[in-house]
Amino acid sequence: MAHLNPTNQVIVVGAGIGGLTVALGLAKNGFQVRIFEQAASLSEVGAGLQLSPNAVKVLRQFGVADAVGQHVFSPQYACIRDYQSGRYYLESPLGKHIEQRYGAPYWHVHRADLHKELVQACYAAGVEIELGHRVLGYRNEKKYATVLMDKKTEHADIIIGADGIHSKVRELMLGVQAPIFTGQVAWRGTVPAAAIKGATVQPNATVWAGPNKHLVTYYLRGGDLVNFIAVEERAKWQQESWRQEGDVNELRRKFIGWHPEVSAVLEACDSTFLWALNGRPTLEKWHDNRVVLLGDACHPMLPFMAQGAAMAIEDAFVLTQTLLKYDYHFAFDKYEALRKPRVTAIQKQSRDNAALYHMHGGWQGRMKLQALGLASKYASGIIHAKLDSIYGFDVTSLSI
């Protein structure tokens, strides 16, 4: 299908990972792109994230992988270990093995480093980024879309809502709906590797599985930092904010009696943020005429498959390619049809992993972990089949 109404001018709402990536992809392909961000500064609160091969392939296509690669750590194994004994339930190779299998590496990167490189690449590609603009509304008009902000009104051929789980664009499109608290909260932070005493953190992506909680550790910035995410189950989230500064002493108390490797990381920690893990039901639609959603704005991910950033990056590639090839009406339909089944499946896998990591069912939960370990050792094809569908998926080779 040829372009009936050529799309040249694009407004992206939100300067997070997804918004920057789609802006970069579009700008590199001749679109005029402006980003409007609510925050007053271009910075990322957060810690580490995992970039699996499916995401790295998109970064390569958009010409930013080499720059990001200067900041990363490449883990050797993906592990699930017992919270007390340290026993390995699962030890699956990453490193060179995963690069050979999937054609791209598996990286750990500080969110701020990825964000910085995407910002610089966007500027180099001609993207305009304006800060301190809060979206109040949008209008679909005959020849353009209008976005209404607290300080100005702007027009473009299309608007991309990449403004996260609390997306104002999604709210305007589909109505106000409070996020669904999943009954879990996550403590996040980083500590200098040199500050960790009494234990050596292994150079792996490690899930420490325990009753009703788990903790993940991995290195960042070439091994200079250790990142942790500690997830515990809670009946409710009472705070108004979805994120708040956490109490390090409370965090340590929550994980008393855990393996020395975990204790050593938490003892070295001097600050942490506490996040409510929220979800949303599958949306009936991702677009409204000239306005479309991307990333967490339309499919928020629990962190138990480490695919939140990767899915937003994949979205960015597919949306760029559909807009290059089709009129925006058909492009948005095609984008949603290509992306919704994949992200919905990974959302489910992420929810299922929470029960696995938290040993739901007591001894039965431990048996499931032990069975997973046996499968990885004696029937590796079972593990590969699960990972192949995620890491082996290559949006850059899709027929769009």
Is pLDDT of 357 > 90? no
Using pLDDT thresholds of 50, 70 and 90, give the confidence band for residue 378.
very low
pLDDT value for 276: 87
pLDDT value for 144: 96
Domain 9-71+110-178+283-358+381-397 in CATH 3.40.50.620 = no
Question: Per mean pLDDT, which of 42-46, 326-330, 353-357 is the most reliable?
Answer: 326-330
Average pLDDT value for the chain: 90
pLDDT, tens digit, 9 for 90 and up, residues 121-131: 999 999 999 99
Which are the catalytic amino acids? Answer: 218
Question: What is the average per-residue pLDDT within 129-136?
Answer: 96
Phi, psi at 274, each rounded to 5°: -115, 125
pLDDT, tens digit, 9 for 90 and up, residues 180-211: 888 899 999 999 999 999 999 999 999 999 99
Q: What residue spans define the domains of the chain? A: 9-71+110-178+283-358+381-397
pLDDT value for 246: 87
pLDDT value for 380: 56
pLDDT value for 393: 94
pLDDT, tens digit, 9 for 90 and up, residues 150-177: 999 999 999 999 999 889 999 999 998 8
pLDDT value for 178: 77
